Structures are given as structure tokens and as C-alpha cells.
Amino acid sequence: MHFMHMDHLDITQIRLVAELLRLNSVSAASQQIGLSQSAASHALAKLRRQLGDPLFTRNGHGVQPTPFGERLGCAARESLDVLRAGLASNRPFDPATTSRRFNIYASEIGQMTFLPKLYGLLSKQAPGATVRFHDITVENSGAALRSGEVDFAVGFFDNLTTGFKRSFLNREHYVCAVRMGHPKFRKGMSLDAFLEADHAIAESTGTAHSKIDQVLARLRIRRRDAVRVPGFHVLPPIIANSDLVAIMPSRLAAAFEGSLSIKALPLPVKFPTLDIQIYWHERYHYDPPNQWFRNIFTKLFRGYGQRPF
């Protein structure tokens, strides 16, 4: 037997070997792949010459494989199965029958504001699907998106550039949250009241929210640091039960204004807004499940939770 480059094989030969191993008959194998028996015999003869092995020998009931023919037939069958699975993976995605788990990178605020509405939609359109939110990893957050472990990220990222696509959701801005009836803010927001009040500060380093201190430093504004907490999501109940003041994203304040005794006021100084977007890797741009999930998420949350000031 001599070595043969795979370039010399064609798909008909691969299918023929696989069917000969399964059916042990040249006539049955030729019928299965749509060849005449003569054409199948010629193809098998050519393959024998190319590989230097009989591959299949006749017996009283048809043909049986040589040891090499059996190994080649098994490899051909496995290769065809992989090819069929690959081709099938690009069929239209059916959310009604899927049992897929979708994975999202989102901040704690995103998880709180997105999950209830998203779950409601999935329970109707994709009842067998599940969703898992992951805390955003500051370092190398693109690795899980690139590998497909996470479908997309939601938020503000300045490190997802090369190889990544994005879609705009909404424009986020910061507000000043205080309790209803706060003595310093009965007449609304003022810079003096802002500077005089004690502040509860979220230490969200490594995300877009860490820019709050940078902006205030440029404006030479220093908050009276009374309480520090690890994330924004714990601030609303603290604010509702104290005379503390907190800067927080408007979506978070809006989520609690109806259930807690807090109100959102505009900041006393001009603050930059953030473009909240979804980010996904270009490898999955045409992946049907990823594409469907991105589309419903974008339609569901584009403009959602925006505040006028």
C-alpha cells in the first residue's frame, strides 16, 4: 500500500466506502448514493489502485472489508457524520424547540434591569431555553466571547474592538439619588447642597462607573465620603433610609423609585453620558442562535429605561 494525499479523494469515494462497510454490497451501496452499479465498481477499482489495497473482497453474500478497508470505512462514516452535523448547524434556528443556554456578560445593574423582562419574553418564545448572567471580567473579557462561552456582553466596553461587533441599546447617564423629604434637597438640586451632603459611594473600579471620580476630579469637586460599598446595587435601600446622597446610573434609580422612598435629581454639574451597547465576536455574527438572541435582546431593550435628564 502506498501513501495517498487526501486531495486525490472525492466525496463520492468517501460515501461509497462508508456505505460498502454498512451494507456489504456494491449494488446496495451504489443505489444508496445514486450511482449505477457499474460506476460504483469503477470508483472502487480506482480507489483500490490509488491506495494499493483491495479494501473490500467478495464472499458468498456480497463483500467484506479488509482490515484497512474497515478502518477506512469507519473513518469515512465518522467524517460524513461530522460534515452532516456541520451543515445542519446552519439550519434556521427554532426558538420554540431549543433547549439552549444563553450566556450574557452584564453588570449587577444590567442583571437587575434586564432579567425580569428578558425572562418573560423567553418563557413565551423559547420556553425550553435558559439564560445565565455572568459578572463582567475586567481583564481579558473578550476571551469568553471569542470562544463562544458567552454569547454577548452588555454595557460600556473600551477593550472590545478588533474582531468584535456592536449594536447600540441606549444612552445611560448618572443622577443624584436622595430620599424623599431630604432636608437639603427640598427645593431640588444645587451644587452647595451636593457638596454639603454626606455621600454613599460605590466602588465599581474597572468598569465605566469608575470614571465618576475621574470626572469629579477634573471638575475639582470632592464628595464627602461617608460610606463606601462594593457595588451600586446596594445603594437604593441605603439612600431610602438615611440622609446620604449617591451618584448612580439612572436605570438603577428608576428601578427603585416605585418601591422605595427615593427620588432622582439631576447632577449639579455636567456629566458625560455612556453609550450602552451589546458586543459580540465576529465569529458568531451569522450563528443562528446567537443572531436570534441578539435581535430579540436589542428589540426588547433599545431605549429601555432612559431618563429625560
Cell for 66? Answer: 479488509
What type of residue is 133?
F
pLDDT at 7: 61
Domain 174-265 listed as CATH 3.40.190.10 = yes
pLDDT at 309: 45
C-alpha–C-alpha distance, residues 5 and 2, integer Å = 10
Domains 101-171+274-301 and 174-265 share a fold: yes
Give tens-digit pLDDT for 114-151: 899 999 999 999 999 999 998 877 667 788 898 888 99
Domain 101-171+274-301 listed as CATH 2.120.10.30 = no
C-alpha–C-alpha distance, residues 295 and 51, integer Å = 51
Cell for 102? Answer: 444563553
Give tens-digit pLDDT for 224-240: 999 999 888 899 999 99
Cell for 163? Answer: 474582531
pLDDT at 240: 96
CATH classification number, 6-88, choose in 3.90.1170.50, 1.10.10.10, 3.40.50.2020, 1.25.40.10: 1.10.10.10
What type of residue is 148?
G
**Is-contact 51 4, C-beta < 8 A?**
yes
pLDDT at 204: 66
pLDDT at 208: 61
- Identify the CA nearest to 99 among candidates 121, 131, 124: 131
Cell for 49? Answer: 489502485
- Sketch the domain layout of the chain as residue ranges: 6-88, 101-171+274-301, 174-265
pLDDT in tens, the chain (309 residues): 455 556 667 889 999 999 999 899 999 999 989 999 999 999 999 999 989 999 999 988 899 999 999 999 999 988 888 787 677 666 788 999 999 999 999 988 888 888 999 999 999 999 999 999 988 776 677 888 988 889 999 988 877 888 899 999 988 889 999 999 999 999 899 999 999 999 999 886 555 666 788 888 888 999 999 999 988 889 999 999 999 999 999 988 988 988 899 999 999 998 888 889 999 999 889 888 999 999 999 999 987 655 544
C-alpha–C-alpha distance, residues 261 and 96, integer Å = 41
- Convert 239-273 to b/e letters by CB count within 10 Å (16 or more is b): bbebebbbbbbbbbbebbbeebebbbbbbbeebee
Claim: this prediction has a pTM higher than 0.85: no
pLDDT at 86: 75
pLDDT at 138: 63
